[in-house]
């Protein structure tokens, strides 16, 4: 890698301040990067996993849509609270930093649980899901099914995680560009799905909405599972404050980035299977 090169402001290209012996993170994350990061984290493999769980645990399309709306409101409030914390506390680290302010042991426990289960399990689910879709698109007939297909899925999932890890360690600029590209691709894909679904509804295929709020098909004790699936699909908003020190003018861009992202709540609701 290249050594830090002083610029006109007296700081190295990687954020190190020349002559002071201190190293700072370079502020280069823009508002577009903030929005792309949250949208890219929220619109992931979870949207293809969660609708089945929500619909199965609510019983009807109408109650499933209500769960989507409530989960979206909860996630929006949580994102805005985190954005306010990030704007008030100019330190990267997210929940680790906020808990560490209360007591160092709380920050340690948060990191420990995150490494052990909280972060590893969702990333495993997302990487395996992505690998399954990639392999399924390459399969022909019965080829690749069974044990060999499972092994290929696990190997590809590991490769995906290693590539993401390498890119983020190598260059912030490269990871920003890749994030924006994939976010645009995800949004385009969702728009295509939404337009296709809207055209089907306009054509009169509304039988799935018959008795949409019929309580006889609802198993109320299963509703917590539906909310869990919905909140999993919306998860990802909590990661932006981890980059606070790298965001240009975090006081404005954190709040605006979260608000702009959750203005796109409707596409998620439209994606719900009907």
DSSP secondary structure, 70-88, as one string = HHHHHHHHHHHHHHHHHHH
Q: How far apart are the first and last CA of the chain?
A: 51
Q: Can you give the pLDDT at residue 98?
A: 87
Collapsing DSSP to helix, strand or coil, 17 comes out as strand
C-alpha to C-alpha distance for 44 and 187, rounded to whole angstroms: 10
Q: Can you give the pLDDT at residue 14?
A: 47
Q: Can you give the pLDDT at residue 47?
A: 75
Q: Can you give the pLDDT at residue 81?
A: 84
Token pair of 198, please? Answer: 């809207």
The answer to whether the Cα torsion of 85, 88, 92, 96 is positive or negative is negative
Q: Can you give the pLDDT at residue 70?
A: 92
Token pair of 115, please? Answer: 């490494």
CA angle, corner 205, sides to 200 and 211, nearest 5? 130
Tell me how far the alpha carbon of residue 266 is from its chain's centroid. 17
Task: Report whether 34 contacts 246 (CB < 8 A).
Answer: no
Token pair of 264, please? Answer: 């796109």
- In this structure, what DSSP letter does residue 11 have? B
Token pair of 49, please? Answer: 């996993």
Q: Can you give the pLDDT at residue 105?
A: 92
Residues 6 or more apart whose CB falls under 8 angstroms from that of 189 comprise: none
Per-residue pLDDT for the chain (274 aa), expressed as one digit of tens each? 444 444 444 444 445 444 456 677 778 788 888 888 888 778 776 777 788 888 888 888 888 889 988 988 888 888 888 888 888 888 888 888 888 888 899 989 988 888 887 778 878 887 888 888 888 888 765 545 556 678 888 899 999 989 988 988 888 788 888 888 888 888 888 889 889 888 988 888 778 777 778 777 777 888 888 998 888 888 877 888 888 888 887 777 666 666 655 555 444 444 444 4
In this prediction the pTM is: 0.70
Number of residues assigned to the chain: 274
């Amino acid at each position: 890698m290249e050594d830090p090169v002083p610029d006109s402001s007296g700081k190295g290209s990687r954020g190190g301040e020349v002559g002071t012996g201190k190293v700072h993170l370079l502020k280069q994350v823009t508002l577009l990067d903030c929005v792309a990061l949250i949208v890219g984290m929220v619109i992931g493999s979870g949207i293809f996993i969660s609708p089945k769980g929500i619909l199965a645990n609510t019983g009807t399309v109408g109650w499933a849509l209500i769960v989507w709306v409530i989960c979206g409101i909860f996630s929006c409030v949580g994102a805005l609270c985190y954005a306010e914390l990030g704007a008030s506390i100019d330190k990267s680290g997210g929940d680790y930093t906020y808990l560490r302010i209360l007591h160092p042991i709380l920050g340690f426990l948060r990191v420990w649980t995150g490494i052990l289960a909280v972060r590893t399990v969702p990333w495993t689910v997302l990487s395996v899901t992505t690998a399954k879709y990639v392999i399924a698109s390459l399969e022909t007939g019965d080829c690749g099914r069974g044990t060999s297909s499972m092994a290929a899925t696990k190997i590809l999932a590991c490769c995906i995680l290693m590539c993401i890890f390498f890119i983020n360690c190598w260059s912030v600029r490269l990871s920003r560009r890749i994030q924006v590209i994939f976010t645009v691709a995800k949004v385009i894909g969702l728009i295509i799905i939404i337009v296709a679904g809207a055209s089907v509804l306009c054509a009169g295929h509304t039988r799935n909405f018959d008795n949409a709020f019929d309580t006889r098909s609802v198993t109320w004790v299963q509703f917590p599972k539906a909310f869990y699936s919905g909140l999993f699909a919306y998860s990802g908003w909590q990661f932006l404050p981890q980059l606070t020190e790298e965001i240009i003018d975090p006081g404005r861009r954190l709040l605006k980035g979260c608000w702009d992202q959750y203005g796109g709540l409707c596409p998620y609701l439209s994606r719900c299977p009907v």
